[in-house]
Structure 1
Amino acid sequence: MSNQCELPDAPSDAISAVRFSPSSTKLLVSSWDKHVYLYDVSKEAGDSPRLIQKFEHRAPVLDVCWGKDDSEAYSGGLDWDVRRIDLKSSEQTVLSSHSSAAKSLAFSASHNILVSASWDCTLHIHHIGTTTTPATIPLPHKPFSLSLSPTRLVVAMASRQLHIYDLPALSALSAQASQAPPNTLELEPWQRRESSLKFMTRAVACMPNDEGYASSSIEGRVAVEWFDPSVESQARKYAFKCHRQTVDGVDVVYPVNALSYHPVYGTFASGGGDGVVALWDGVAKRRIKQYQKYSASVVALAWNGDGTRLAVGVSPGFEDGKEVEEGVIKIYIREVAEGEAKGKGGK
């Protein structure tokens, strides 16, 4: 039987991201209230979840991610800047500035790069540990979400377009950035794709086994696809309806705001505007579990390193038809029982 706890000192405005440390009990949360929050959610005997520190920004923060270890994080937001945050000294360093909001971030420790995607239709590829100018890659459309697998970067954009990049190639490009003026380095995507979903992409998440990704839309659907371009592999891709409710005989459709793959079993969680979190086996094409409804939209999800806990960010969304109210924004840590997120075939 699962249980959950609510974190104290939640943000005062909508949550944009929740990120578990891969190696500890620390959790990062970014918010429209212009702060990044650092929590310790240890479940050792006698310990209670607590807020360690808040890091103020000049504008709403749209994303946050961990760096090489628990001592550093990276953030991006409506001030256009991509920042490194020293979580011990609280020092913030601007790594680069876009010409519009920095919407999404992803860090690859194995390739030593930080990727930022901006509404100015560019990617910045930062080679961490150097003072070089980041490599800039133009995008054909506005990016909405991005995700890393061990060797790939998936960028979901407007007009239902997706670009898939090779991470070793991105790392090599970023290392060259110091020898070339900004905006002169070109890198063709490994693959260009059109989304299987008919409406705007809301989130994308890569499979931990490096084989593919899931994407979700504003129209209550999730698509599962594989990287392998062969006809046989592409024939496996599919999409399904979810996060829908019948209200007074009418089928009400909600956006699927968040996706997160389980690090051990390769199943995934989805969170929707209906306030529901569901667990899915994407290979067996079935729902494993659906949790009780939360009080507002589920806007962010993250598994911890061993997949025993799921962080759930809850905030009012456009579908709620109301402004953010104090006390409505919540962060929950759900304890997941052994095997609860296991798919039909296991791992």
Structure 2
Amino acid sequence: MAGLFGSSSSTTQQNNTLGDLSKDVALNNPPEDSISDIAFSTQSQHLAVASWDKKVRIYEISPTGGSEGKAFFDHEAPVLSCHWSKDGTKVVGGGADKAARMIDLGSGQNVGTQVAAHDQPIRAVRFFENPQGGQEMLVTGSWDKTIKYWDLRQSQPVATVQCQERVYTLDVQGKLLVVGTADRYINVISLNVPDKFYKTIQSPLKWQTRVVSCFPDASGFAVGSIEGRCAIQYVEDKDSSSNFSFKCHRDPPQNNMTNVYAVNAISFHPQHGTFSTAGSDGTFHFWDGVAKHRLKGYPSVGGTISASAFNRDGTIFAYAVSYDWSKGYAANNPQYPNKVMMHPVNGDECKPRPTVKKR
């Protein structure tokens, strides 16, 4: 399936698929260190930004991409993940201080109250709605090889699930929880039975998993890896052609050599179900997974893209240009860009291609 994406056969086709960065707007007063995660509220135009400077910042974003800082809270070490509650009143961060901390914006208290703990850094945090009781809960995934579920009214986890390896990424949509670990394990969990793996697969990609992202309809998920590939996986195997992988974030081959880059972020458009990939090569692309087609590719933004997110109505695509540590400590320097950009989603940039009916 690799050839169906990306590569275009004509100059005209390439021009049609080349996106424009000229109207992208930079976030005011971004973090002072590498940006690890960004997340939009589903209720308002607010953006949370998690950073290696030990803070989670919350900004209000105008329809034109302008921004104003509204609140922040501190961790005791770099923050690796952030997420909004469904009602838009709370933001949680998970960090290298082995803690998840939360701010309640409704209460007006700008403090990060600790709401979860692990034995090792927390790599990923997500709010979700408990299918049994309907109340909002928290799931945390850690390098201590566990995921834990938290009722925010209690100090101890409701349940702990042992994984095969360190948790690198997780995502939730509806009753679907997908957990990606070291050694390329992907665990699929139904939140109806949250303490059991519904299904475990080895990643269809050959190298380390960087990100998993659930489809908006919770029927499957996308996986991104360090070798410039993305995979589309359905939870229930409908037929052999439903699941596929494709190449992205790679330089054109030269002298039988191809530079490949990590796929750091995959974000689904909230309305159209199309998705973005963003990577260490400093580019992002919009894709139609159903038609197996690239909708738009964008020029390099001048640094690696470490995180991305669509706002609630899909009119803004935010991406963080920040060192992602893909080349280790030595490649980081004070001149490296560190910013979050707001890209206005115009026209058909993210719209699926019309399907052609066969006679």
Same fold (TM over 0.5): yes
- Cα distance in 2 between the residues matched to 1:133 and 1:279: 38
- The match for 1:178 is none
Matched, 1:270 2:271: no
- Cα distance in 2 between the residues matched to 1:22 and 1:269: 18
- The match for 2:3 is none
State the number of aligned residues.
326
Matched, 1:101 2:121: yes
1:238 pairs, out of 233, 238, 244, with: 244
- Cα distance in 1 between the residues matched to 2:173 and 2:304: 27
Letter of the structure 2 residue corresponding to residue 118 of structure 1: S
- Cα distance in 2 between the residues matched to 1:106 and 1:11: 22
- Cα distance in 1 between the residues matched to 2:39 and 2:216: 16
Please identify, of 105-114 and 155-164, the stretch whose mean Cα deviation from structure 2 is larger.
Answer: 105-114
Matched, 1:139 2:163: yes
2:313 pairs, out of 306, 315, 320, with: 306
Letter of the structure 1 residue corresponding to residue 143 of structure 2: W
| Percent of matched pairs sharing the same residue | 33
* Superposition TM-score, scaled by structure 2 size: 0.86
Matched, 1:70 2:88: yes
Contact 1:13 1:324 in 2 (8 A): no
Which segments of 5 or more consecutive residues in structure 1 lack a partner in the other structure?
Answer: 171-186
Matched, 1:292 2:299: yes
- Cα distance in 2 between the residues matched to 1:336 and 1:285: 20
Contact 2:25 2:66 in 1 (8 A): no
Letter of the structure 2 residue corresponding to residue 53 of structure 1: A
Contact 2:28 2:67 in 1 (8 A): yes
Matched, 1:86 2:104: yes
Which segments of 5 or more consecutive residues in structure 2 lack a partner in the other structure?
Answer: 1-19
1:195 pairs, out of 200, 203, 225, with: 203
Report the CA distance between 1:292 and its aligned residue: 2.1
- The match for 2:349 is 340
- Cα distance in 1 between the residues matched to 2:321 and 2:117: 29
Contact 1:315 1:324 in 2 (8 A): no
- The match for 2:214 is 206
Query: CA separation of 1:131/1:163 partners in 2, compared to 1, >3 Å: closer, same or farther?
Result: same
Contact 2:319 2:341 in 1 (8 A): yes
Contact 1:117 1:143 in 2 (8 A): yes
Report the CA distance between 1:198 and its aligned residue: 0.4
Report the CA distance between 1:334 and its aligned residue: 0.7
Mapping of 1:120-199 within 5 angstroms?
Answer: 120-130=144-154, 133-170=157-194, 187-199=195-207
- Secondary structure, aligned partner of 1:159: helix
- The match for 2:340 is 331
- The match for 1:182 is none
Letter of the structure 2 residue corresponding to residue 342 of structure 1: K
- Secondary structure, aligned partner of 2:331: coil
2:142 pairs, out of 118, 121, 137, with: 118
Contact 1:12 1:326 in 2 (8 A): no
2:286 pairs, out of 279, 291, 310, with: 279
- Cα distance in 2 between the residues matched to 1:288 and 1:48: 26
2:43 pairs, out of 18, 23, 26, with: 23
* Superposition TM-score, scaled by structure 1 size: 0.89
Report the CA distance between 1:326 and its aligned residue: 5.1
